[in-house]
Amino acid sequence: MLKIIAAVIGRDLKLALRRQADIVSALFFFIIVVSLFPLGVGPEPDLLRKLAPGVLWVAALLATMLSLPRLFADDHRDGTLEQLALAPHPLGLAVTGKVFAHWLVSGLPLALLAPVLGLQFDLPTDALLVLTGSLLLGTPALSGIGAIGAALTLGLRGGGILLSLLVLPLYIPVLIFGAGAVDATVAGLGGEGHLSLLAALTFAALGFAPWASAAALKIALE
């Protein structure tokens, strides 16, 4: 069971590394969107500190969305998705691998980059730590839920826009608890409650999403 997950992760990471432009452009998108906000709302540190959690989290959400349409599309086009579906083990395991690999190349870099961008918004150190922690905890759920949307819209016209329409409403709880954790830390209330709820969401999403995605992929492959 772990063997197949590891094999898929290994394959997707190898492919992502041979096509670094995708990872880098999603990261740049994140950086640019976050940096645009101070230009839009003005440089007052108080206002920026208040906006920072929401801005960083929304930008992370959008940056994740960018890479989702290709999660299954490439494999679908060249026929490897069929081969994965025909392997003698449940497709959900392979999808679990793909979700992890997607997180490793999209969510993880975002989380590692976020504290640097948080400095632009004058966030205190403890808030920066919580920001990184909340992104580390929450982005796997984004990859998981996103995989469902990517599988449902596989091969459809205008799939990218449709994908955001389907997935963004489902991202709301992650956004609320993720940004809420940072917010609470800035306000001096402590973000532990938010973080544990975020962890619960991520576990639920990672348990449930690959199987829902696998079901959607089977529908798309019919």
Q: Using CB under 8 A, list all residues that contact another protein.
A: 3-4, 7-8, 11, 14-15, 18-19, 77-80, 82-90, 94, 148, 152-153, 156-159, 162, 165-166, 168-170, 172-173, 176-177, 180, 184, 197, 201, 208, 212, 215-216, 218-222
CA angle, 34 then 40 then 42, to 5°: 105
Instruction: Give the integer Cα–Cα distance in Å for 74 and 96.
Output: 17
Least separation, in Å, of the C-beta of 32 and another protein?
26
Q: In which residue are the tokens 């329409």 written?
A: 165
Least separation, in Å, of the C-beta of 180 and another protein?
6
Shorter beta-carbon distance to another protein: residue 4 or 47: 4
Instruction: Give the integer Cα–Cα distance in Å for 9 and 96.
Output: 9
Least separation, in Å, of the C-beta of 191 and another protein?
12
Shorter beta-carbon distance to another protein: residue 94 or 137: 94
Shorter beta-carbon distance to another protein: residue 15 or 73: 15
Shorter beta-carbon distance to another protein: residue 48 or 194: 194
Shorter beta-carbon distance to another protein: residue 7 or 62: 7
Instruction: Give the integer Cα–Cα distance in Å for 90 and 188.
Output: 46
> Coil, strand or helix: which one is 174?
helix
Least separation, in Å, of the C-beta of 165 and another protein?
5
Taking each helix axis as running N to C, give the angle between helix 192-221 and helix 125-152, from 0 to 180 degrees, rounded to the nearest 10: 20
Least separation, in Å, of the C-beta of 35 and another protein?
26
The separation between CA 10 and the C-alpha centre of its own chain, rounded to angstroms, equals 19
- Would you give the DSSP letter of residue 105? I
